[in-house]
Structure 1
Amino acid sequence: MVNLRFCFMNDPELSSTTGRHSMKDATSRVLWVVTDEKPGHRSQQEGLVERLQALASFDVFWLNVESLDISLLDVLLRRRIKPELPAPDWILGAGAGTHSLILKLKRIFRAKTILLMRGAFPMALFDANITPVHDNPPKRRNVLPTTGVMNPVVPRYEGRDEHTGTFLIGGVNDHYQWDDAWIIEQVARICRAQPQVQWTLTDSRRSPDAFLPALKALALPNLTLISYRDTQRGFIKQQLDTTGQLWVTRDSVSMVYECITSGAPTGLLDLKPLRQSRVVKDMDKLLQQGWVQDYAQWDIQQPLPVTETKLWEADRGARWLLDFLR
C-alpha cells in the first residue's frame, strides 16, 4: 500500500500528492496531471498515477483544466505557468479538454506528455499514449493498447468471502435494451439458486426509479438492497475487494473492467443488444476470451469460477511508461 500525502495549495483548482520520497529527493520526477474532473477520465488517471507512485518516486500535482489559461503568446515566449509549482518532467492528460493544454505545456516546459485514450491530435505529437483496444489505437511505438480502460482497483485473488456475492446494476443506455423485469428475474433466480450466499445489490444513476421497489417486493431473504444514493464513499471498492462473486449488467462498461481487475469471479447479466455497437462487441469479446461468464450459459447453482487470466492495466501502463520514457 502506498503512503500518499495530500496537500492542498492556495489555488483551489490544484492539489498535490507526493510519492515514496519527499520533494527534496533530487531523483523524484514531477508529474502534472491535467484533469477535466469527469469521473471516467479521473478514474483512469488515478489508477495510473497510483501505480506510478508505487513503482517510482513522483511528486504529483493535479491541475483542473479550468485553472489553466494559456495563450499563444505564453507558448511562443515560453512563459512560466503556475510559477508556484516545480516544473513538470511528465504531463498527463485524459479527455478532449486536456489535449491542447498538455501540448502547450509541453512546448513551455519541454516535458514528456502522456495522453490517455485517442484524441483529435496526431499521436505523434505526444510522447506516449495509452488507449483501450476497443478504441482501435494505431500501431505505433509510443502507443500502448490496453484491455479496457485503466482504473484504480487493486486485484485481490485470495481471502474473499465465498458466502457473499454482489450485484452491480446499470440502467438505460444506448447499447442494450433495458428490461427491469428481466434483470429482476435473473437476480431472483441467482439468489434462489444459491441460498447459502448472502447477496448485496446496488443500482446506479441510470437505473429506473421503479427497479429497486419492484425487486424489494420479492422479499428475497438473502438479498440486501442498497440504493446508490445511500452508499458511502468507497462502498464499491470494498465490495470489489471482499465479495466472493460478482454479477454486473453488461451496459456498465467501466464497472465490468473494474470487476475483472478486482480478481473477483465475474458474470454478466443478460441484456438484448440494440445494435452491434463498440460496447456490445467489446462485451462479446470478453465473454469469448473467458474474462467473464454469461448468465445465459452458466449453471447459476454453481458459484462463478476464478479466471485463470489476470488483468491489471494500470500497473502494466505504469511499468510501460517507466521503461518507455526513461
Structure 2
Amino acid sequence: MSIWVVSDGRTGIENQSLGLAEAIADLAPATITRHVVRWKPAFDRLPSALKQPWMLQQGQHLLHAPPPDIWIASGRATLPLSVRMKGKTFVVQTQDPRWKHSAYDLIVAPEHDGLNGPNVLSITGSPHRITPERLKAAAPAFADKIAPLPHPRVAVMIGGTSKAFDLTLDHAALLADLIAETVDEKGGSLLVTFSRRTPLLPQTVMTQRLATLPGIIWDGAGENPLFAFLDAADHILVTEDSANMVTEAASTGKPVHVLPMVPLKPQAKFKRLHKALQDHGAARPFDGTLESWTYEPLRETARAARAILDAIAQR
C-alpha cells in the first residue's frame, strides 16, 4: 500500500499521522511518503470552507497526483485538501476537525474531546510514534552518554505556553527545584527535553537549576534524543499541558508522573485525559517522590491502525 502523511510540517502535528502510518506499515507492507501543506500568509487564517487550492503556498500538487491508498492528515491546514480527497482514497483525519465531520472516511479523535459519529474512532490521547522497537533502535546513538548515568534515570518532558496553560518564570523555577530535590535525594540522573513551545527564559532557568545534577539536558541541537531518553528512563516526568507527550509517555509501560502547569482556563478535557491515564494505571500526579509501579503500556496507535485496515477491507 501507499500511504501519504500530510501535515503542516510541525513535528508534534506530523507525528500523529506518521505514527499511524508506521503502525499500519507494521501490520501490512506499505510505503510512507510525507507531504507538507502550507497556505499563503494572506489566506492562512481563513476558515477552511473559504480556502481554495490556488491559495496554497505548498501542497497544491497533492490534488492532481495519482492518489495513495491511504491519506492520513493532521492539523487544520490539511482540512480543505482532505475533504477534496474523499472518494479518491481512504481519508483519515486525526483529532476533531471541527468541520464537515462526514467528509472523512475515518476520524481518529481523542476520547477526551467527546466526539461521536459513525466514522469516529475514539482513542485515549493522540496517535504517536512510540513503540518498544523504535525506542530500542534509537538507544545506541546515545548509549555512550547515557550508560554512565546513575539510576534511577528520570526522563523529563517539559512543554510550554498554550491556550490552556502557561509556564511562567516563577513556575519553571519551582518545578526545576522540585525535580532537582527529588532526583538528588534518590542519587539519580536526569534526561531532559523541552518542547518547541517552551519559552526561552523558563527553559534557561530550568536548565541552570538542573545542570548541577548528573544527566543530559538537550538544548535542541543535533539529533533529538527523546526516544533514547524514554528507552533508558526508569521514571518519566511530563508536564500536563500536552496530550501528545503524556500519551507517548504512557506507551512505554514506565511510571508517568504528571507535572502541574499554570492553568489559563478550565481544564475539563485535560482532566478527562489524565483520569483515563490514571484509571489505566499509567500516570499519577507528581508528588515529589519517585514511586515505581507497573501497567500495560498504552497501545492506542496500533489499535487505530488495525481499525483503518479493517475499514478498508470492508469497503
Q: Which TM-score applies when normalising by structure 2?
A: 0.75
Q: Pick from 135, 143, 152: which aligns with 2:129?
A: 152
Deviations along 1:197-222, one digit per CA (max 9) or x if unpaired, are: 22233333443444455456657754
Q: Distance in 1 between matches of 2:271 and 2:116?
A: 19
2:238 equivalent to 1:251: no
1:268 counterpart residue number: 258
Distance 1:81 1:263, change over 3 A: same
**Equivalent position SS for 2:258:** strand
| Residue identity matched to 1:228 | D
Higher helix fraction (1 or 2): 2
The structure whose Rg is larger is 1
Q: Percent identity?
A: 24
2:214 equivalent to 1:223: yes
2:96 equivalent to 1:118: yes
Q: Distance in 2 between matches of 1:216 and 1:96?
A: 33
Distance 1:130 1:193, change over 3 A: same
1:180 counterpart residue number: 172
Q: Distance in 2 between matches of 1:57 and 1:192?
A: 47
Q: Distance in 1 between matches of 2:205 and 2:186?
A: 21
The range that moved more, 178-187 or 271-280, is: 271-280
| Contact 1:32-1:90 within 8 A present in 2 as well | yes
Q: Distance in 1 between matches of 2:80 and 2:304?
A: 22
Runs of 4+ in structure 1 deviating by more than 6 angstroms, as ranges, are 158-161
Task: Give matches, 1:1-326, under 5 Å.
Answer: 29-66=1-38, 81-82=64-65, 85=66, 87-107=67-87, 109=88, 111-140=89-118, 142-155=119-132, 163-176=152-165, 178=167, 179-195=171-187, 197-211=188-202, 214-215=205-206, 222-230=213-221, 232-282=222-272, 284-286=274-276, 288-289=278-279, 290-296=281-287, 300=289, 302-306=290-294, 308-326=295-313
| Residue identity matched to 1:295 | F
Distance 1:139 1:291, change over 3 A: farther
Q: Distance in 1 between matches of 2:200 and 2:308?
A: 43
Q: Distance in 1 between matches of 2:27 and 2:250?
A: 22
The alpha carbon displacement at 1:37 in A equals 1.5
| Contact 2:154-2:189 within 8 A present in 1 as well | yes
The range that moved more, 311-320 or 266-275, is: 266-275
Q: Distance in 2 between matches of 1:280 and 1:207?
A: 19
Distance 1:322 1:248, change over 3 A: same
| Contact 2:110-2:124 within 8 A present in 1 as well | yes
Distance 1:128 1:264, change over 3 A: same
Q: Distance in 1 between matches of 2:35 and 2:161?
A: 33
**Equivalent position SS for 1:100:** helix
Q: Distance in 2 between matches of 1:221 and 1:213?
A: 14
Q: Distance in 2 between matches of 1:38 and 1:217?
A: 28
Q: Distance in 1 between matches of 2:26 and 2:86?
A: 25
Distance 1:59 1:136, change over 3 A: same
Distance 1:30 1:223, change over 3 A: same
| Residue identity matched to 1:207 | T
Distance 1:273 1:309, change over 3 A: farther
Q: Distance in 2 between matches of 1:280 and 1:223?
A: 32
Q: Distance in 2 between matches of 1:314 and 1:287?
A: 15
Q: Distance in 2 between matches of 1:170 and 1:264?
A: 19
Contiguous gaps of at least 5 residues in structure 2:
40-51, 55-62, 140-146
| Contact 1:90-1:112 within 8 A present in 2 as well | yes
Q: Distance in 2 between matches of 1:325 and 1:175?
A: 36
| Residue identity matched to 1:190 | T
1:19 counterpart residue number: none
| Contact 2:176-2:210 within 8 A present in 1 as well | no
The alpha carbon displacement at 1:258 in A equals 1.1
| Contact 1:188-1:220 within 8 A present in 2 as well | no
Q: Distance in 2 between matches of 1:33 and 1:219?
A: 37
Deviations along 1:244-291, one digit per CA (max 9) or x if unpaired, are: 111122123321111111222210123453432245424542464232
**Equivalent position SS for 1:229:** coil
- CA RMSD in angstroms comes to 3.1
